[in-house]
């Protein structure tokens, strides 16, 4: 099969220190051999990513963990058993083997076993962990298809194309503390799911400030202003120049383009389509602004609103985007 041959080619390129974009269940990643500092440096170059923003290291088997961390907290195994392979990233104390450039010099490394067969086969064939951020320019919209990567990161050596991703939003990032855990980035694995496994979770998650170096206020931004609307939606804008990302299907009149993100108020469906809809609006020459309707902040809705707020951060009032 073609994809199978492509995975062999991609694995060989990783071993040679080249960069490969590959699908995960969340978004496409831009991968390099995690132990090859030069290859990893090229990720930062191509993404135009600041060196203070560390990468996630992807593994295909729990055996790979000992290369990256000597942490042995039983809660790590609980979480790994429950959510790996899948959209959960754990921040762990790192071994000396992990190059500084991967962790931006931090004493910790972010690790995840992705839940996509192509990603897992790539890592297994390359026989090494793969460091990979999302395959987009820094601060821009994340890629949920190979097409997005091709368009926005044409410098990549090779792109493994396995169609659209199935979750559509980046992994949940978790840091364990003595008394519980802290969510550094919301994703498809929810706080409630983690709390079911780890006692006293709320203590740490409520009391400690969020601290992930890459978690800037502005992120995931389209090249056009994005306004996160309150209901009723933005009366001041010229709606003919606007594209609407609609959640409820209400108040859609007058917009130049409307994407109904879900037929049945399904937040998971919204997450799958979110970045693709932003790409679509960004690429439409007749649209000057994007308006997004807020979604309820429950389950994956927390992760969706986190991304929408960051995408919209620069445009906080209708006046600011006239």
With CB atoms as reference, the residue minimizing the distance to Mg ion is: 134
User: CA-CA distance, 288 to 277, in Å (whole number)?
Assistant: 15
Residue 109 in contact with ligand TXA, rule: CB under 6 A: yes
User: CA-CA distance, 125 to 101, in Å (whole number)?
Assistant: 24
**Cβ count within 10 A of residue 31:** 33
Residue 91 in contact with ligand TXA, rule: CB under 6 A: yes
Residue 132 in contact with ligand TXA, rule: CB under 6 A: yes
What's the number of CA atoms in the CB half-sphere (13 Å) around residue 156?
30
| Cβ-Cβ contacts under 8 Å for 109 (sequence gap 6 or more) | 54, 57, 68, 69, 91, 92, 93, 94, 98, 102, 103
Q: In the bound complex, what is the minimum distance in angstroms from residue 134's beta carbon to Mg ion?
A: 3
Q: In the bound complex, what is the minimum distance in angstroms from residue 133's beta carbon to Mg ion?
A: 5
- Among ligand TXA, Mg ion, none, the one that 55 touches (CB under a kind-dependent 5 to 8 A) is ligand TXA
Residue 221 in contact with Mg ion, rule: CB under 5 A: no
Q: Which of 134, 165, 182, 205 binds Mg ion (CB under 5 A)?
A: 134
Residue 108 in contact with ligand TXA, rule: CB under 6 A: yes
| Cβ-Cβ contacts under 8 Å for 39 (sequence gap 6 or more) | 17, 18, 19, 32, 33
**Region binding ligand TXA by CB under 6 A among candidate stretches 68-76, 78-86, 212-220, 269-277:** 212-220
Q: What is the chain's length?
A: 322
End-to-end Cα separation, the chain, in angstroms: 52
Q: Looking only at residues 55 through 84 of this chain, which bind ligand TXA when binding is defined by CB under 6 A?
A: 55-56
Residue 282 in contact with Mg ion, rule: CB under 5 A: no
Residue 36 in contact with ligand TXA, rule: CB under 6 A: no
Residue 144 in contact with ligand TXA, rule: CB under 6 A: no
Residue 131 in contact with ligand TXA, rule: CB under 6 A: no
75: left (phi > 0), else alpha (psi -120 to 50), else beta? alpha
Residue 166 in contact with ligand TXA, rule: CB under 6 A: no
The closest of 74, 69, 4, 80 to 34, measured between CA atoms, is 69
Residue 26 in contact with Mg ion, rule: CB under 5 A: no
User: CA-CA distance, 254 to 96, in Å (whole number)?
Assistant: 58
Q: Which two tokens stand for residue 132?
A: 């990979």
Residue 106 in contact with ligand TXA, rule: CB under 6 A: yes
Residue 252 in contact with ligand TXA, rule: CB under 6 A: no
Q: In the bound complex, what is the minimum distance in angstroms from residue 281's beta carbon to Mg ion?
A: 19
What residues line the site for Mg ion (CB under 5 A)?
134
What residues line the site for ligand TXA (CB under 6 A)?
24, 26-27, 29, 53-56, 87, 89, 91, 103, 106, 108-110, 112, 114, 132-134, 170-171, 173, 184, 212-215
């Amino acid at each position: 099969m073609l994809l199978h041959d492509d995975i062999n080619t991609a694995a060989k390129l990783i071993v040679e220190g080249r960069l490969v974009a590959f699908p995960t269940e969340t978004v496409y990643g831009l991968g390099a051999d995690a132990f090859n500092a030069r290859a990893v440096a090229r990720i930062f170059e191509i993404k135009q990513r600041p060196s203070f923003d560390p990468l996630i290291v992807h593994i295909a088997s729990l055996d790979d963990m000992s290369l990256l961390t000597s942490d042995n907290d039983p809660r790590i195994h609980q979480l790994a058993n429950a959510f790996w392979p899948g959209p959960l990233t754990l921040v762990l104390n790192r071994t000396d083997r992990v190059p500084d450039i991967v962790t931006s010099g931090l004493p910790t490394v972010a690790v995840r076993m992705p839940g996509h067969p192509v990603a897992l086969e790539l890592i297994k064939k390359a026989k090494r962990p793969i460091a990979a951020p999302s395959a987009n320019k820094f601060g821009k919209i994340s890629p949920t298809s190979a097409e997005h990567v091709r368009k926005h990161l044409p410098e990549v050596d090779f792109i493994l194309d396995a169609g659209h991703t199935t979750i559509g939003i980046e992994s949940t990032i978790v840091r364990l503390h003595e008394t519980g855990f802290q969510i550094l980035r919301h994703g498809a694995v929810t706080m409630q799911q983690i709390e079911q496994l780890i006692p006293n979770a709320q203590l740490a998650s409520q009391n400690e400030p969020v601290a992930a170096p890459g978690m800037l206020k502005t992120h995931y931004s389209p090249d056009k202003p994005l306004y996160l609307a309150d209901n009723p939606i933005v009366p001041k804008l010229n709606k003919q120049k606007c594209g609407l990302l609609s959640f409820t299907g209400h108040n859609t009149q007058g917009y130049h383009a409307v994407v109904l993100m879900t037929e049945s108020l399904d937040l998971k469906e919204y997450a799958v389509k979110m970045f693709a809809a932003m790409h679509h609006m960004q690429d439409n020459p007749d649209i000057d602004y994007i308006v997004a309707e807020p979604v309820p902040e429950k389950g994956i809705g927390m992760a969706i609103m986190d991304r929408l707020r960051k995408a919209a951060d620069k445009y906080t009032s209708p006046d600011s985007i006239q």
